[in-house]
Amino acid sequence: MLKTVLVSSNFLFSFFLLLSCGGKNDKAPAAAAQANQVKDYPVITITARQTTLFSDYPATVQGQQNIEIRPKIDGYIEQIYVDEGSTVKKGQPLFRISAPQYEQGVRTAQANINIAQADVNAAQMQVNKVRPLVEKNIISRYELESAQYTLQARQAALAQARATLANARTNLGYTRITSPVNGVVGSIPHKIGSLVSSATPEPLTTVSNIGNIYAYFSINEKQALEFSANTKGASVQERIATIPPVTLILSTGNEFPQKGRIETASGLINTETGSISVRATFPNPGNIVRSGSSGVVRIPRTVDTALLVPQKATYEIQGKKFVYVVESTNTVRSAEIQVMESGNGQYFVVQRGLNPGERVVLEGVAGLTEGASIAARPVNTDSVFAQVTK
């Protein structure tokens, strides 16, 4: 009985030993197969396609007119008819200045006119009195000429008095200040009771006509030369006219709904900055954008045969950009590319380093090495760029 138990124990031990050895031998080939397995990567084929590039330029926004309102006479601010930020119409009252001396000047000038008119009447009566006496040879003709000269002098004095009255009324009109244009009232630094004059440094306020707004930005000399070389037209204005409508990006990051046009560029290069000032004009219905705002002018440019590569398909080493090109043997090689960025930040326009028809790894480039074998999975290029160009 003991012998039978020992034999059974030895048999079970040998059986489990064989099972354990067999398990180890099966795992080794599986691990080797897994190590040699080629990983799948999405691949796109580079093709030339039409695309629109955007160039962004920081800009400052000004109203079509920014008119400083200044007093022409000395006096105290008696009344303020508007508040800061108010929308006003042309001719609408803004301020009233208390200057009694000008009212007195009008009354004095009117009195002088009455005196001058009386003198004219008296001189006319003298002429009428002398004329028949001269005609009857009762008195010398000299008396008539003297009376006529006196009448002319009195008439000249009357004209002078009337001019003085007009000037006095003009000065009195300066006490009531109205808006010269339709616009929006700026800050009002002087309050009721403040003494102001034509020499006061600060204006009473500024009225901004913002029915249209001007966005001013600068381009450097190189960009200006490239624009002149790549744009048709015999003059600057003809070349500017070929630029498509531009977009204003507000400080919130949103696009201003109205499109604008570039209308003018300065004829001189700023020697300090090496740049040229450019102005784009935008309609501003509802006075949404105010004078003094900031933004970005975005200028589109259409390229008919651009080689595009998604930014996620690139990697960077020491400031240089690379992609992995898939060879016919499904191995990859790194290729340096030179690009210019587009406005949406989703893809690059390749200038050098790639040719139409070459295949590029779309995703997962961080896990690749030079000469690695991959399982290329073709991806429809149109669908890829339909997503990144949205």
For the four alpha carbons of 143, 147, 152 and 153, in that order, the dihedral sign comes to: positive
Q: Are 221 and 269 in contact (CB under 8 A)?
A: yes
CATH 1.10.287.470 domain span(s) along the chain: 100-173
Asked if residue 120 has pLDDT above 50, the reply is yes
Half-sphere exposure of residue 343: CA atoms within 13 angstroms, side-chain side: 17
- The second-level CATH assignment, the architecture, of 100-173 is Orthogonal Bundle (1.10)
Q: Can you give the pTM of this predicted structure? A: 0.63
> What's 92-113 look like in SS3?
CEEEEEECHHHHHHHHHHHHHH
Structure confidence at residue 259 (pLDDT): 94
Average pLDDT over residues 124-150: 86
Compute the distance between CA of residue 166 and CA of residue 44 in angstroms, rounded to an integer. Answer: 83
Average pLDDT over residues 255-272: 87
Which residue ranges does the chain devote to CATH 2.40.420.20? 40-52+304-388
Average pLDDT of the segment spanning 10-18: 44
pLDDT in tens, 169-194: 998 999 999 999 988 999 999 999 99
Contact between 70 and 177 under an 8 Å Cβ cutoff? The reply is: no
Pick the CATH number of 56-62+207-302 from 3.20.20.110, 2.30.40.10, 2.40.110.10, 2.40.30.170: 2.40.30.170
8-state DSSP, 200: -
Cα dihedral sign, 196-199-201-206: positive
Are 196 and 78 spatial neighbours (Cβ–Cβ below 8 Å)? no
Q: HSE (CB half, 13 Å, CA atoms) of 377?
A: 8
40-52+304-388: CATH number:
2.40.420.20
Q: Identify the three-state secondary structure at position 79.
A: strand
- Which residues make up the CATH 2.40.30.170 domain(s) of the chain? 56-62+207-302
Distance of CA 235 to the CA centre of its chain: 24
| 9 — pLDDT class (breaks 50, 70, 90) | very low
Nearest in space to 266 (alpha carbons), one of 278, 248, 249: 278
Query: Is residue 11 predicted with pLDDT exceeding 70?
Result: no
- Count of other CB atoms within 10 angstroms of residue 278: 24
Residue 176, φ and ψ in degrees, nearest 5:
-115, 110
Using one digit for the tens of pLDDT, what is the confidence trace for 28-67?
454 444 445 788 999 999 988 888 888 889 999 998 888 9
pLDDT at 54: 84
For residues 216-225, one letter each, b for 16 or more C-beta atoms within 10 angstroms of the residue's C-beta and e for the rest, the string is: bbbbeeeebe
Q: What is the 3-state secondary structure (H, E, C) of 32-50?
A: HHHHCCCCEEEEEECCEEE
pLDDT tens profile 314-352 = 999 988 999 999 999 999 999 999 987 555 678 888 988
Per-residue confidence (pLDDT) for residue 7, from 0 to 100 = 39
Sequence letter at residue 146 = S
Sign of the dihedral defined by the CA atoms of residues 204, 205, 209, 215, in that order? positive
Collapsing DSSP to helix, strand or coil, 292 comes out as coil
Q: What percent of the chain has pLDDT over 70?
A: 88
Quote the pLDDT of residue 154. Answer: 92
For residue 51, count other CB atoms closer than 10 A to its CB.
18
Whole-number average pLDDT of the chain:
85
pLDDT the model gives residue 83: 94
Which helix H or strand E contains 212, and what residues bound it? strand 205-220
